[in-house]
Structure 1
Amino acid sequence: MKLMVLDGNSLAYRAFFALPTDMVTASGQVTNSVYGFTSMLLTLLRDHKPEGIIVVFDRKEKTFRHEAAPEYKAQREAQPDILYQQLDLIRELLNAMGIVAIDAAGFEGDDLIATIAERAQQSGDDLIIVTGDRDNYQLVSDPHIRVLYNKRGVSDYALYDEAGIFERTGVTPKQYADYAALRGDPSDNLDGVPGVGEKTAAKLIVKYLTLENIFDHADEQTPKLKQALIENRERVTRNAKLMVLRRDAPVEIDIHESMPKPRVDDVKKMFATFEFRTMNARFLEALKHFPIDLSQAGISDANSAESPVVNSDEQSASVLSAVVSICKDANSALAALKSNTVSDIAAAWVGDPGRSELLGIAVVTDKKTHAVSWITKSLLTESSVKKFLLANWQFRGHNIKPLLRSLLLLGIDLKHMKLDTAIAAYLLDPSESRYEISQVVERYTGLLFGSVATSTQEGQLS
């Protein structure tokens, strides 16, 4: 079985600090963490298609680690109330989605993850651990247990197996707790050996294999390192034990009974309350690979507020197509460029955009009739056309940077871009991974691109 477990607190915190706190509903509820967390969750479901998913959370009470080390996490400031409020909302949303969410008094979420990983390993199940906490590196075990590490923000991940952990840290997953104790963990307020950073810690672990051996061979080190090892042995040894994640936490669920059981109508209502206009369509898409009967959920109805529902008679109207004419000379090119106050444009290249020869640009001349003019590279460099482009010509497009690069090589420096819809799509949803123009248009309008003709001829592209 292919399972996925999410570190709920870690991802919610990442979302909160990655997205602006002015994401507020009309009623005044801040939703940046809920939005970011939900976006990450749905993207993970869509891209990795797990058969079961579990989300774990920390509790506010102290754990056995706080009792063993009073300084443990003592430096951490209280998180803003608007974050704690959203953690409750995230759990309510997970409940509506029918996604298992667990916590346990006296244990951290990482211990629950470790216990789930142990059970998955014993039963031969594949598990992806999604977290922004490096302590989970110690759980990686080929071929079944991997960590999808959230490096920053809401969309930057790295997937690690045992080789990946060694490449990243210089030690194996089983050695990670000793390595972390040596170098220290500022996020948990657990000091390491003074003067020992990541590289030195890895070298010592590789040479001596265990923490005990490192301290036993302190005499072999430089005088400064020898003294630091001797003076900090007891504390660092204690810290290493605390850094080992517990694999016997009270996880009272059957990890094989973790397929979502959504109450689709409730989820839709919550998205409406949060004013997440496109999230319901993404939620339904993310569920497609699960053997869930959504026939009574009204999938078309659920999408109706977000994108057009098109029947067979209207299908042709839902497909974007263009009537293309090829500019024959500089005058026709100038007419196309002057047809609108702000020109909508796209470009084509022989190979990679911006890094191969530019073929030309397409300019929308009449939106109502879907009229588009094609201007070749040779016409773009005509003196009159070039002069017009260098003046006050205003334009917008999708992922414009490659075109700007290509035009600069032709001596054309465009300075009046009004909008790049790729950037706009990212700002709307930074956790999304698909920003091609066809994907963005379909996501926000429900419209599809027509197929492109294999050769550029005047007439209908369909």
Structure 2
Amino acid sequence: MPHPTLFLIDGSSQMYRAYHAPVRTAEGGLLRNAQGRPTNAVYIFVTMLRKLIADHHPEYIAASFDLPGRTFRDDLVDDYKANRTPMPDELAEQIPMVHAACEALGVPILTSERYEADDVIGTLATREPGPIEVATGDRDLFQVIDDARSVVVLYCGKGVAKLEVMDGAVLHGRYGVGPSGYADFAALRGDPSDNLPGIPGVGEKTATKWIAEFGSLAALVDRVDEVKGKAGDALREHLGSVLRNRQLTALVTDLPAETVGAVPGDLLPVAWDREKIHRLFDTLEFKVLRERLYQTLPHGLIGATGPGGPQDTAAPHPEKAAFEVVADLLGPDQVGAWLAAHESAERSGLTLTGTWGRGTGNVTAMAIAAPDGHGAHLDPVQLTDADERALAAWLADPAHPKVLHDAKGQMHALAARGLPLAGLACDTAIAAYLALPGQRTFDLADLALRYLGKELREEADDGQLTLDGSGERDAAGALVLRAQATLELAAALEEDLGRRESVALLHDLELPLIDVLAEMERTGIAADIEHFSVMSAMLHGEAKAAEQAAYAAAGHEFNLGSPKQLQELLFNELHLPKTRRIKTG
């Protein structure tokens, strides 16, 4: 059985690259929320993380970050990374939010005092069996590539969205060295970003040639007098800085587990904390990104993200509270008796499946959740005339208040079947919009988890028919659960709206408007063609009169639609004062 994949993210490197990614506002500034807080690094980092998880389906995952303060390399060399510009304040301000995003998405964070993120990754990538994938923009991590253990680096040298798979063959083809020789090569080449000076006049080709000829930097140092020419003189003159570079470039690969902060067994992905995601994304105003996240990774569990993703190695969902309802699958001539048995002046949940649009629709199934904890599933195909009469009376009776999620479309479907709806007590989609106006979509399952802490688990239809009817029963039960969720959610949303002093807005304005809008969509709009023809002729005449007046003022005819002719007329002939140029001249 293949060993599960360990996915390691160089969080600090990716965060820096996310901050400097060319994502800006229309005015060229950083992305910010309404309070002016910068959010661009978090936005790009989460976008990158979403894509990595969706594309690679890691079974184990972690992100490693640098800690503030000195590292052991600073103790070795006082001016290590001294020529780097200080971290921008706008990036430093986003670090806690990047960490919070990882935590909310179930990605463990690893840090180590006095060591860099590279060393934590180097230790895990060297110690543990493969396959291992390392996402980074730091070339130093090319040292961990190991074809024998399937350790590769996903290098984002051209941006966080453009990952290049670096294995031993690709590394050798680019630099002429293997992973074991990369630190030697890098020491000879130097790295200005880390304040590691190279050898004057010696570039990558010469460094590669020396490694190939002598086998290693250590052998090159032992035989340094054999290197001829100006390059040899420069090497001997700067040998001290090369050895210093080698000491600083080498990754630490033997940190103890307590220093690393975890072993791979600790790095199982966990279920998302959707409430944390909501709170964080609400603050950051990541409306579209939240929708993309849930669309790409609907299960909220990194280890089970779709085809090819692990099934038995992922951490289990933490148990959520369940919706409790006794579901009855009603057959012919059972609707009236069921409605009578569960009659109440309290609200009931109602949900449909089918198709609907503006003024039309079709019902394929219906579920009712009564206030006493019982629910019913109705199949329109099985309804008798008596069932239809009982259902129609219940739906049209305002004394039986109903709660729906996104009611207007379902009202169209009912009306198309001759079943008008009255007594709409709450529309949970509308209520959610009033409570969370910054969101763009209001999924019932998402809202149930957010407001009720209950998971609305809906088994995906695999398109296969079952001979024992179990698939039909599962679908019926799932629809009843949706009706129950709608019923419970309505109370929670109204409580939230009460804190926002918006309950009256829901009941006095929004709910009555649903009936008005539905009726308008069913009726449509009639156009008075004769009236519009008269209006068109009048406007055409006025336009011609204005055109002739313009010609008279200019003293000649010209093309009113030509910016060039207008420029000539206004500024050269009429000598009007010039203004600044615009895109059209």
TM-score by length of 1: 0.62
Partner of 1:127: 132
Over residues 26-51 of structure 1, what are the superposed CA-to-partner deviations in whole Å (9 max), with x where a residue is unaligned?
A: 12111100000000000000001101
- Pairwise CA RMSD of aligned residues? 2.4
1:48 aligns to what?
A: 56
- What's 2:482 paired with? none
Measure, in 1, the Cα distance between the counterparts of 2:97 and 2:222: 51
Cα distance in 1 for residues equivalent to 2:155 and 2:216 = 25
Q: 2: distance between equivalents of 1:146 and 1:25?
A: 37
Distance 1:213 1:125, change over 3 A: closer
Once the two structures are superposed, the pairs formed by residues 128-167 of structure 1 within 5 Å of their partners are 128-142=133-147, 143-167=149-173
> Which structure 1 residue ranges, 5 or more long, are not aligned?
299-309, 318-367, 369-391, 393-462
Contact 1:265 1:297 in 2 (8 A): no
Alignment pair present for 1:313 and 2:318: no
Match of 2:465 in 1: none
Task: State the partner residue of 2:489.
Answer: none
Tell me what 1:16 maps to: 19
Q: Which amino acid aligns with 1:135?
A: D
The CA deviation at 1:280 is: 2.5
> Is 1:6 paired with 2:9?
yes
1:296 Cα deviation from its structure 2 partner: 4.6
- What one-letter code is carried by the residue in structure 1 that aligns with 2:83? Q
* Deviation for aligned residue 1:316: 8.8
Letter in 2 for 1:44: L
1:105 is matched with 113
Give the Cα–Cα distance (whole angstroms) in 2 for the partners of residues 135 and 78 of structure 1: 21
Is 1:74 aligned to 2:87, yes or no? no
Contact 2:111 2:261 (8 Å CA) reproduced: no
Tell me the distance in 1 between the aligned counterparts of 2:109 and 2:321: 23
The alignment-based identity, stated in percent, is 36
The alpha-carbon deviation at position 60 of structure 1 amounts to 1.4
Match of 2:279 in 1: 269
The Cα offsets for residues 265-313 of structure 1, whole Å up to 9 and x where unpaired, read as: 2112211221111222333333442645388599xxxxxxxxxxx9741
Structure 2 residue 39 is the aligned partner of structure 1 residue 31? yes
| CA radius of gyration, larger in | 2
Normalized against structure 2, the TM-score is what?
Answer: 0.50
Q: Report which stretch shifted further, 174-183 or 60-69.
A: 60-69
The equivalent of 2:385 in structure 1 is none
Q: Select between 154-163 and 33-42 the one with higher mean Cα deviation.
A: 154-163
Q: Are residues 311 and 236 of structure 1, via their aligned partners in 2, closer, same or farther at CA, if it must alter by over 3 Å?
A: farther
Match of 2:200 in 1: 194
Q: Give me the whole-angstrom Cα distance separating, in 2, the residues matched to 1:297 and 1:240.
A: 56
- The count of corresponding residues between Structure 1 and Structure 2 is 305
2:115 aligns to what SS in structure 1? coil
Do residues 175 (structure 1) and 216 (structure 2) align?
A: no
Checking the alignment, whether the CA contact within 8 Å between 1:23 and 1:32 is kept in structure 2 is yes
Deviates more, 1:258-267 or 1:41-50: 258-267
Listed as ranges, the gaps of 5+ residues in structure 2 are 323-350, 359-523, 525-560, 562-585
Distance 2:268 2:288 in 1: 23
Cα distance in structure 2, aligned partners of 1:114 and 1:297: 41
Residue 282 of structure 1 is matched in structure 2 by 292
Mapped to 2, the partners of 1:263 and 1:169 lie a distance apart of 43
Q: Which whole-Å CA distance do the structure 1 matches of 2:93 and 2:183 have between them?
A: 33
The CA distance in 2 between the partners of 1:9 and 1:175, in whole Å, is 25
What is the match of residue 85 of structure 1?
Answer: 93
| CA deviation map 1:98-118 (0-9, x unaligned) | 210011111000000001112
* SS of equivalent to 1:213: helix
Question: Aligned equivalents of 2:63 and 2:321: distance in 1?
Answer: 24
Contact 1:215–1:229 (Cα < 8 Å) also in 2? no
Partner Cα separation in structure 1 for residue 352 and residue 205 of structure 2 = 62
Whole-angstrom distance in 1 between the partners of 2:30 and 2:216:
49
Instruction: State how far apart, in whole Å, the 1-side matches of 2:352 and 2:165 are.
Output: 41
Q: Is the 8 A contact 1:71 1:190 kept in 2?
A: no
Contact 1:3 1:127 in 2 (8 A): yes
Measure the CA separation in 2 of the matches of 1:75 and 1:42: 33
Greater helix share, 1 or 2? 2
Distance in 2, Cα, partners of 1:197 & 1:105:
35
Separation of aligned partners in 1, 2:275 and 2:163: 31
| Corresponding residue of 2:266 | 257
Q: 1:158 Cα shift?
A: 0.4
How far apart are the structure 1 equivalents of 2:165 and 2:353? 42
Following the alignment from structure 2 to structure 1, what is the Cα–Cα distance between the partners of residues 179 and 244? 19
Amino acid at match of 2:88: P
Tell me what 2:570 maps to. none
Q: Is residue 7–residue 131 contact of structure 1 (8 Å, CA) maintained in 2?
A: yes
Alignment of 1:364-443 (within 5 A): none
Higher strand share: 1
Any idea what the Cα deviations from partners look like across 1:126-175, whole Å, max 9, x if unmatched?
A: 11000000000011001321100011223111011111111121100000
The Cα shift of 1:218 comes to 3.1
User: Counterpart of 2:317 in 1: which secondary structure?
Assistant: coil
Residue 218 (structure 1) aligns with: 224
